[in-house]
Structure 1
Amino acid sequence: MLDLLITNARVVNEGQVQTLDVGIRDGRIERLASHIDQPARETLDANGRHLLPGMMDDQVHFREPGLTHKADMASESAAAVAGGITSFMEMPNVRPPTLDAATLEAKYELARERAWANYAFYHGASNDNLEAIKALDPSTTCGIKIFMGASTGNMLVDAPQTLESIFANASIPVVTHCEDTPMVQAREQAYRERYGEDLPFRLHGEIRSREACLKSSGMAVDLARRHGTRLHVLHLTTAEEMALFEPGPVENKQITAEACVHHLWFSDEDYDHLGSFIKCNPAIKTPADRDAIRAAVNEGRIDIVATDHAPHTLSEKNNSYFAAPSGMPLVQHALLSLLEQVHQGNFTLETVVEKTSHNVARRFEVADRGFIREGCFADLVLVDMTRDTHVERESLLYKCGWSPFEGTTFRARIEATFVNGQRVWDGQQLVGVPAGQRLTYRRS
């Protein structure tokens, strides 16, 4: 007997949309067929709605340990499944930072039985933890995170020899935040002298400039090419950076690239009414940059779309330019923002699924997830492309309690989210208990 039978679903998977039944047992997809005549403990008629593999978000900051006044594993993973995200990869700039095997395993313990979505954690790099990186067990982490730009705590890697050694010794993907710190600091000083503390937020993209992004991204690509490193460059923001990356399928690429949903949605024209709510690093830039990133998604220069979910409290955000921290909460409406762009004609559903699910599993060699295939875990999201979702503060599940999308109406709705075959979101509320599992990998 099946645990769950989903009938009459328009399954979006591997470049096709097909009407199928999906049979689930013991957390995995057991059967895919045009019609499944098999008893099940529960049957759900999708009634022609779209069934997608759950989004796998390869870049989030859930703030635990040490920064839990902003967010924690439970609150942010709850918001994630409400938004159709079934797996997340979380960043190391917490307190203490994730710079060795012990702090890495401690984060897995924090997530166990509390995370609503499946989870993995990056091992961080610093100027002085090269030996820990060399000793890293590849099965314990999704990748090595290098902040090649300003960061919190002891996580800015700017020593040239250290960068060379990390790129030379990494046996798993290296992921990079690329901004040139000296260039950013020089701009900050110049603009502070001109404007004082009350700097207009619309100048954020000039301070964290396109030149600073391109210089650092170019350095990362050069390092990877010289050392044969598997490199994944995060949250690209400029048209110029797109030329650093090759178009085409992600399979067998040594160097891959990511865009984030906010850089695909907002532009610097939005700073005047959203201010600190869209202050993030690297900065949101011009409409022309946004258009170039969208084009790169369709060309295959951008391989993955993620969130860089990075919440701060309202009191922290409601400050002048230099006092307001960078980052915003995004996981609850990230997939909806991409589905809205399907409505707008910017992307196809098949492209959204490829960039948010298939390619994440491929790039990080995640075992048995990211696809709707027999034998894969049943990490699924049921979407109604004809029902609206209006974003109101009262509906948010983030601990920080706000969203840059407030007041937006998306022309799609997350009707249900399944993690390891368990329904955890029913379109209105969380159901059941946290069902997330630790991600595993198939790595040579």
Structure 2
Amino acid sequence: MKRNTLIKNAKIVNEGIIFEGDILIENNRIKAIDSSISVKSADMTVIDAEGNYVLPGLIDDQVHFREPGLTHKANIESESKAAIAGGITSFIEMPNTKPQTTTIEKLEEKFAIAAKTSYANYSFMFGGTNDNLDEILKVDPKSVAGLKLFLGSSTGNMLVDDPEVLEKIFSSTDIVISVHCEDEATIRKNLEKYTDEYGDDIPMELHPIIRSEEACYLSSSKAIDLAKKTGARLHVFHLSTGKETSLFTNKIPLKDKKITAEVCIHHLWFSDEDYKTKGSRIKWNPAVKTAKDRDKLWEALLDDRIDVLATDHAPHTNEEKNNPYTSAPSGGPLVQHALVALLEAHHKGKISIEKIVEKACHNPAILFDVEKRGYIKEGYFADLVIVDLKSPWTVNKSNILYKCGWSPFEGNTFKSRVTHTFVNGELVYNNFKVLDVKAGQRLTFNR
């Protein structure tokens, strides 16, 4: 029989306010929230939050967990363990696996894997190509997070570069279309220039010059123009330039927006100055760019032109990352350290805890119509995270949970830590220990 849980003495963060109180969990839901709750029951576990903050579990709308087909880098089990250690209780995974998730059959195979192995709640993006519109039209909007289109930096045949097909896709579906925006022609031209000069061993510092501001802005602006033309619901992933932020608005509430944007932790933390020390460890697509771009991204996040915080968690092995520029893959692991990095920004006065919760918990739930998650409310699923803001720890090999075994934050000391994570009412993580409880459920969508 499952024990119920009472969380006492918490600073509860929800919908822009922080209040002290208790949370009662029964089965997998939040039963009650009050200033003081007393329950005498033999099947009750009481956890004293000791005045620490309780947040809704984070919803990460963009991860690459590499299963199936690329499991030497990661898999759903290993990366979902890292996610719950980092306070992420729900994830939306991308379709560029092997095989790619571009048919309903392959999509359901991934759901079957996650049902057996995931520690966190899960959903998957369905992948669009130049020739799978018939499959796209079969997607059930109540049970699938959305559609992912690569308008640049694709793998396999997932680059959607036929304008007629793109317009048909935008015109044919009401579900959220999430896009990776980088103009391939611009990138190819820049890469050719530097390959001629350096061969394969291009200095890593040139990555943001090759995958330039121009490439990002050109692609993002075209996608937005097409969304406006067709009325599509468009979400632009991982903005990396200040210039792109001008394409988005804060004049209307998120629930009414047709065009939204996301920013990832690495574009808010690193800058091009870090390539000298981090090298390929911070090679992402789109590229980490200038400190000025980083400042503009923070500005747009805080004034609500950017709607969502995410990770774009995309692990590769050390051996793969150690290759020269042209063969070192882009991407890095982030789910375990995203929340503590955001809390570090809070300590530095960049962002409030309430704003972190808005952007990483509430807004993904609004944007993707996630059912009964992303908030601390009675009747909602009990996806909860307790964080201690005064408990420093240092990232090192011994506490990294990613299957790839490394982190761009190695050696970094964070002031805050996740002490407890609950998924669907079950304690799944407790003070650096992942418990053997696979409580993740398939996300559903209120559409």
Query: TM-score under structure 1 normalisation?
Result: 0.99
- Gaps of at least 5 residues in structure 2 are none
Which of the numbers 294, 297, 311 marks the counterpart of 1:293?
297
Counterpart of 1:425 in structure 2 is 429
**Residues 7 and 43, structure 1, Cα contact 8 Å, conserved in 2:** yes
The yes-or-no answer on 1:196 pairing with 2:183 is no
Instruction: Give the C-alpha shift of residue 432 in structure 1.
Output: 3.3
CA offset at residue 140 of structure 1? 2.8
Give 1:148's match in structure 2, choosing from 148, 151, 154.
151
Cα contact 1:75–1:399 (8 A) shared by 2: yes
- Could you tell me which amino acid in structure 1 is paired with residue 11 of structure 2? R
Give the alignment of 1:19-418 within 5 angstroms: 19-40=20-41, 41-248=44-251, 249-418=253-422
2:444 paired residue number: 440
Work out the CA distance in 2 between the residues paired with 1:162 and 1:243.
27
Task: Give the C-alpha shift of residue 430 in structure 1.
Answer: 0.7
Quick check: 1:147–1:155 contact (8 Å CA) kept in 2? yes
The 1-side partners of 2:208 and 2:433 are apart by 37
CA deviation vs aligned residue, 1:53-81 (integer Å, no higher than 9, x gap): 01100000000000000000000000000
* Structure 1 residue 171, shift from structure 2 partner: 1.6
Kept in 1, the 8 Å contact 2:205–2:276? The answer is yes
User: Is the deviation greater in 14-23 or in 30-39?
Assistant: 30-39
Quote the Cα distance in structure 2 between the aligned partners of 1:170 and 1:304. 22
Name the SS for the 2:433 alignment partner.
coil
Note the C-alpha offset of 1:389: 2.2
Specify the code of the residue in structure 2 equivalent to 1:281: N
What's the CA shift for 1:2?
A: 7.3
Contact 2:6–2:47 (CA under 8 A) maintained in structure 1: yes
**1:12 touches 1:52 (CA, 8 Å); kept in 2?**
yes
Between the aligned partners of 2:237 and 2:128, the Cα distance in structure 1 is 15
CA contact (8 A) 1:113 1:435 kept: no
Paired with 2:7 and 2:344, the residues of 1 have a C-alpha distance of 25
Give distance in 1, aligned partners of 2:138 and 2:94: 19
Deviations 1:259-287 (A, max 9, x none): 00000000000000000000010000000
TM-score by length of 2: 0.98
Q: Distance in 2 between matches of 1:103 and 1:389?
A: 40
Q: CA RMSD in A?
A: 1.0
Q: Distance in 1 between matches of 2:431 and 2:167?
A: 48
User: Would you identify which runs of 4 or more consecutive aligned residues in structure 1 move more than 3 Å?
Assistant: none
Q: Determine the C-alpha separation between the residues in 2 that align with 1:384 and 1:297.
A: 24
Question: Secondary structure of 2:161's match?
Answer: coil
Q: Which amino acid aligns with 1:14?
A: E
Query: 8 Å contact 1:146–1:176 — kept in the other structure?
Result: yes
Residue type at the aligned position of 1:48 = G
Give the Cα separation in 2 of the matches to 1:63 and 1:2: 34
> How many positions carry a matched residue from both structures?
443
Instruction: State the shift of 1:24 in Å.
Output: 0.3
Contact persistence 1:382–1:417 (CA under 8 A): yes
AA aligned to 1:15 is: G
Residues in 2 aligned to 1:21 and 1:299: alpha-carbon distance in whole angstroms: 32
Once residues 350 and 220 of structure 2 are traced to their aligned partners in structure 1, the CA distance between those partners, rounded to angstroms, is 26
Q: Percent identity?
A: 53
- Alpha carbons 1:13, 1:371 under 8 Å: kept: yes
Q: Distance in 1 between matches of 2:138 and 2:56?
A: 34
Retained in 2: the 8 A contact 1:113–1:436?
no
